[in-house]
Structure 1
Amino acid sequence: MRLLIFTDLDGTLLDHHSYSFAPALPALTEIRRRGYPLILVSSKTRTELLNLREELQLEFPFICENGAAVHWQENNRWQCQAFSPPRASIDAVLQELRRTCDYRFTAFMDCTAEQIATLTDLPLEKARLAGAREYTEPLLWQDSSERLHRFLQQLDEHGLQGVQGGRFLSIMGKFSKASAMTWLVQRYQSQAPTMTIALGDSPNDEAMLQAADIAVVIQSDRSAQLEVNQPRWVIRTSQPGPAGWQEAMERILHTDLHALYSNNNS
């Protein structure tokens, strides 16, 4: 049985304000020692995740831009499975809807790197990376909630959706973190039986959490909204961010997961 760990980043493994993962270092070190695949699943871009993957000393696949694509290395070459239309086609729809309906929003496509840095509280260089999106368009909605409902309906008519993350509404194709996770799990299952853990803190993590064998709901100001009842084991942490990540993973790593797997497959 192979354990696969899928984790959201902002507000989960990374502190929502400082972007630090320091409180989770003990669990990260133990996961690395055991050789468990730790798969980053985020709204962040491919380049951002490559940098964070290196910082975390990971060698496993990752899922970028809310499930838009899976990237992995095979025979020392990068491979990609994309589930999304290109960003340019999404931006064209947004520009048309803004022109015809006069919606008020600020999208990354409207911003300089300096403006993205202000919106995200990221250093300038990291803001440049955040702006280099390939499949999705984050925006700040600045109109009414009634008009947002109509806007989302119009996106649906164009085969798109809006997914609310920690700070931004991400405009994207009809895919999700969960669908990309399922695709990747199937690849691993072709090699050996798997047990999956998913960690997240916000509504856009809910489907991913529901699809896992073990779900960890990290405490946040929106975590109470998450209805997670499908997994074999659901953990709700008492602490937010990486401290909550450490709290949950410490508990999981001290559990006989092979026994849990066997009991649920007998």
Structure 2
Amino acid sequence: MTEGHDFTGRTALITGAASGIGAATARWLDQQGIARLILIDLDGDGLNKLDLSCEVETHAADVADEAFWQGLEPKLDRLDHAVVNAGIGTGGQIAELDFAEWRRVMAINLDGAFLTLSTALRAMRNAGGGSAVVTASVTGIKPVPGIGAYGVSKAAVAHMARIAAAENAGHSIRINAIAPGGVDTAIWNSPELQAQFAEHGREAVIAQMGQTTPRGRFATADELARDIGYLLSDASANVTGTVLTSDGGYTL
């Protein structure tokens, strides 16, 4: 076990945990000795398929549902870490984007992140401290045409993490954000790409898209999980209020 990465006896909450970065982070924490994981995702079946050795509590729930968080909070008798990860993608230029689609993205990516983080912060204050990581995106740093709602939501959650870090340092709570570039996860399984997947194969299309980065490929969810794990761990004890860019050089 890497020095500073011992999570023995601790509890972590992860949203968007059924697949991709969330599931990879759950597996990574399990490997580092985490005692208990509270996993949240709309995909309850996906949560139940995770093969983990620690104690696991799953919730098939919408992170944008305030009532869910109001019901869960009294049951959070101990919380040491939180990964605010649930999110969805969308396409469309701002001038043509339907307001209902804008609100759908903001409800999950921003409102859901707020509800998750605020609930987790109160629980960690009660526990005497902890750490949290919010999943943002390089599209919240670098303007990328055609995904305005997603990029705006990710810029907002990154700034929310920094404000929360300033507000909670005195409570021994660290909050950071991570801004991934392209990661090979289910977020790319959008209707816009299905025709290309059908013609060329998903693996070939993702590989071609990865050529847009200096690294020459998209990251894996496991690579992002290790970055998130570092920010959660005692190895980053002096790091708070940062936005870690993990994008294979895309923003260079």
Q: TM-score, normalised by structure 1?
A: 0.40
Q: TM-score, normalised by structure 2?
A: 0.42
Which of the two has higher C-alpha Rg? 1
